[in-house]
Amino acid sequence: MKQAAYKIALPLLFLALWYSISRFGHISPLILPDPESTVRALISLIQSGDLALNTYVSLKRSMGGFLLGSFLGVASGILIGWSHFWEDFFDLAINFVRAIPKTALAPLFIVWFGLGDSAKILLIAFSSYFFTVIPTIEGVKNVDSLYVKTARSMGANEFQIMTSVIMPAAMPAIFAGLRLTVTTALIVLVMVEIVAGNDGLGYLLQEARGNLDMAIMFATLFALGVLGYCLDAAMQYLGKKLMPWRKGKTLSM
Amino acid sequence: MNLEIEDLRKVIDNRKHSTVVLDEVQLRIGSGELVSIVGPSGCGKTTLLEIIAGLQSKTEGSILIDQVPIEKSSANRAIVFQQYALFPWLTVQKNIQYGPRIRGVNAPERNRISREYIEMVGLAGFESHYPHELSGGMQQRVALARALANDPDILLLDEPFAALDAQTKENCQQELLYLWEKTGITILFVTHDIGEALFLSDRVFLMTANPGTITECIDVDMARPRRHSVRLDPGFRMKEAQIRSFLYNGVRELGVDQSGGFPVRLAR
Ligand SMILES: Nc1ncnc2c1ncn2[C@@H]1O[C@H](COP(=O)(O)OP(=O)(O)OP(=O)(O)O)[C@@H](O)[C@H]1O
Ligand SMILES: [Mg+2]
């Protein structure tokens, strides 16, 4: 109980600061809306169904792209980390393309795939791929060779070593990568919706700017924050479920 | 199960130079024997075990098991590493069941096997613990049980007790003898510890470095079952001194100061 109070202290402080600045700071609501109108805007977004609809659209795009990209990232990362043959084959290509900021590819993807969902999902998938493949490769390469030797000495074949040793041993590294990837999927999503959207949370932001409706903008930002937080929490939960052995293994006392 | 090694040679090639790690290694172990290899650090003990286990290739020579040359690794030759190498993502029970699972043994049979070996190494009640929740001695016993659960013909142990404190080490040695007598398995035991080698073994092989080779074989004709009190026995003490002098002589020939206790490495 005491801990919960401690945890919300900082957010409450922010809220109080926001309230007093917007109330006593003589700042135009075109720059900074006050908390009440932001809450009112949020309620109106919820009641009209706009929030649910646009969140759904955004979630569909980001998750579609994330799942596609990270699946390919993990699968190929395991292969690349495991065999020198594939590592040398992919090394230059991956490191070169990885160096291009993925947002810079938005115009290209729009030209190639149009203004619809496919360009957005593919761009998110593309960036998700690179954010998962690197930690997966590292995770696989860092698997202690003693585990592999132990499994091999007990008669495991290469496929069994891959599934029963490499994958679980690399799982913590892969999961750390996936958690980061979810966050970056949202970044790319919002960017591409701002540039080329007619729905979605990024589009709501862009529309609010056009209408000079800062309360809607703040309400949407809040919704994006909630969405990102929930996705991260879901990933953490999944990580705990998939890696029960990590529970209670911590560096802090 | 008979193990015969003839003229084994192992050369490791690096980019810059090649090292002769093992040369002219001869070794014969009869079925059900427990023999040790004692030698200084870096003389190639781990390399030798890994070659026998099929985890490293040999350069020359032959390794026969029951007159048949070994090929790649196989479930009938189990190895336990000094660092235990328990799978941290598996519970004690699942670690022990790993070998049988790989071989496609069904679940009820796997459970029976793991129960038997958990019982044998005295870890009942810890089935669902993860390795990091166990002490070093317990982890070592899980590693032994995991190797035995595969029902191997020969057990290759690489300094299995080196990381344990003196008392835990003595308990583990006693337990190993008990397991060996119970299962009738052949054991090749690698250690730095002369006393440990003598206490456990039927025979002790001495190894020297640069290149790693087996120089002596010492018979240990002390009655079994052995208890730790045999370490005080004059015969035991004499053998210990004998081995020590063999190892020191090796050092003296190489012109290294012999006063500093057990040589860490026989540098040439
Ligand atoms: N990959 C490698 N490349 C070059 N030299 C190697 C390689 N692996 C081992 N060696 C050399 O082989 C020798 C034997 O190594 P090994 O690990 O078998 O020794 P050991 O007797 O087990 O030593 P310790 O008692 O310290 O465990 C060492 O001198 C080492 O430098
Ligand atoms: Mg070694």
The pTM for the full model equals 0.85
Which residues is B20 bridged to in the sheet? B11
Judged by average pLDDT, the poorest of A145-154, B76-85, B121-130, B258-267 is: B258-267
**Paired sense of beta strands B34-38 and B186-191, if any:** parallel
B212: left (phi over 0), alpha (psi -120 to 50) or beta: beta
Q: How far is CA B63 from CA B59, B101, B150, in A?
A: 11, 28, 22
Whether pLDDT at B264 is above 70:
no
**Most B CBs within 10 Å, among A150, A158, A175, A245, to test the B interface:** A150
Q: How far apart are CA B114 and CA B199, in angstroms?
A: 29
Q: What is residue B45's predicted lDDT score, i.e. its pLDDT?
A: 93
For residue A245, the chain B residues in CB contact (below 8 A) are: 88-91, 130, 132
B78/A155 Cβ within 8 A: no
Nearest Cα residue to atom 23 of ligand 1: B42
Question: Is it true that the peptide bond before B234 is cis, omega within 30 degrees of 0?
Answer: no
A197 vs B9 pLDDT, higher one: B9
Query: Looking at CA atoms only, how far is residue B174 from chain A in angstroms?
Result: 25
Phi, psi of B248 (to 5 degrees): -70, -40
10 Å CB burial of residue B240 (0-12, 13-18, 19+) is middle
Considering only CA atoms, which of A100, A104, A166, A170 is closest in space to residue A132? Answer: A170
Where do the domains of chain A lie, and which CATH numbers do they carry? 48-246 (1.10.3720.10)
A153/B73 Cβ within 8 A: yes
Question: Is it true that the peptide bond before A29 is cis, omega within 30 degrees of 0?
Answer: no
> What separation, in Å, do the N-terminal and C-terminal C-alpha atoms of chain A show?
21
Compute CA A209 distance to the chain's CA centroid, rounded to the nearest angstrom: 24
Whether pLDDT at B230 is above 80:
yes
Residue B259 banded pLDDT, cuts 50, 70, 90: very low
Question: CA of B156: which chain A residue's CA is closest?
Answer: A153
Q: What is residue B254's predicted lDDT score, i.e. its pLDDT?
A: 46
**Paired sense of beta strands B213-219 and B60-65, if any:** unpaired
The residues, any chain, with a CB within 8 Å of residue B149's CB and separated by 6 or more, are: B96, B97, B98, B99, B100, B113, B114, B117
Q: How far apart are CA B181 and CA B113, in angstroms?
A: 19
Q: In the Cβ-directed half-sphere of B116, how many Cα atoms lie within 13 Å?
A: 15
Phi, psi of B37 (to 5 degrees): -120, 125
C-beta of residue A205 within 8 angstroms of C-beta of residue A20 = no
Whether pLDDT at A163 is above 90:
yes
Q: Computed from CA positions of residues B164, B168, B171, B175, in that sequence, does the dihedral angle turn out positive or negative? A: negative
ipTM of the complex in this document: 0.85
B85/A153 Cβ within 8 A: no
Taking only the tens place, the pLDDT of each residue in A211-241 is 999 999 999 999 999 999 999 999 999 999 9
Question: Does residue A171 sit at the B interface (CB-CB below 8 Å)?
Answer: yes
Tokens encoding A144: 């202690």
List residues, by chain if needed, whose CB lies under 5 Å from ion ligand 2. Answer: B 46
Tokens encoding A58: 């955004």
Taking only the tens place, the pLDDT of each residue in B73-93 is 888 899 999 888 999 999 999
Tokens encoding A182: 């979810």
Provide the residue type at A221 as one letter: L
Q: What is residue B265's predicted lDDT score, i.e. its pLDDT?
A: 42
Which residues is B68 bridged to in the sheet? B65
What is the average per-residue pLDDT within A36-42? Answer: 93
Ligand nearest to the CA of B209: 1
Of B73, B102, B130, the CB nearest to A245: B130
What is the average per-residue pLDDT within B247-259? Answer: 53
Question: Does residue A251 sit at the B interface (CB-CB below 8 Å)?
Answer: no
B83/A149 Cβ within 8 A: no
Whether pLDDT at B250 is above 70:
no
Query: Looking at CA atoms only, how far is residue B81 from chain A in angstroms?
Result: 8
10 Å CB burial of residue B257 (0-12, 13-18, 19+) is exposed
For residue A165, the chain B residues in CB contact (below 8 A) are: 87
Whether pLDDT at A252 is above 90:
no
B74 vs A54 pLDDT, higher one: A54
Task: Calculate ∠ Cα A208-A214-A220, nearest 5°.
Answer: 65
Taking only the tens place, the pLDDT of each residue in A67-113 is 999 999 999 999 999 988 888 899 899 989 989 998 899 999 999 99
Tokens encoding B122: 């005295």
Q: How far apart are CA A174 and CA A178, in angstroms?
A: 6
Considering only CA atoms, which of A131, A110, A250, A117 is closest in space to residue A185? Answer: A131
Residue A1 banded pLDDT, cuts 50, 70, 90: low
Which residues is B217 bridged to in the sheet? B205
Q: Is B6 helix (H, G, I), strand (E, B) or coil?
A: strand
Provide the residue type at A215 as one letter: A
Nearest Cα residue to atom 1 of ligand 1: B12
Nearest Cα residue to atom 11 of ligand 1: B21
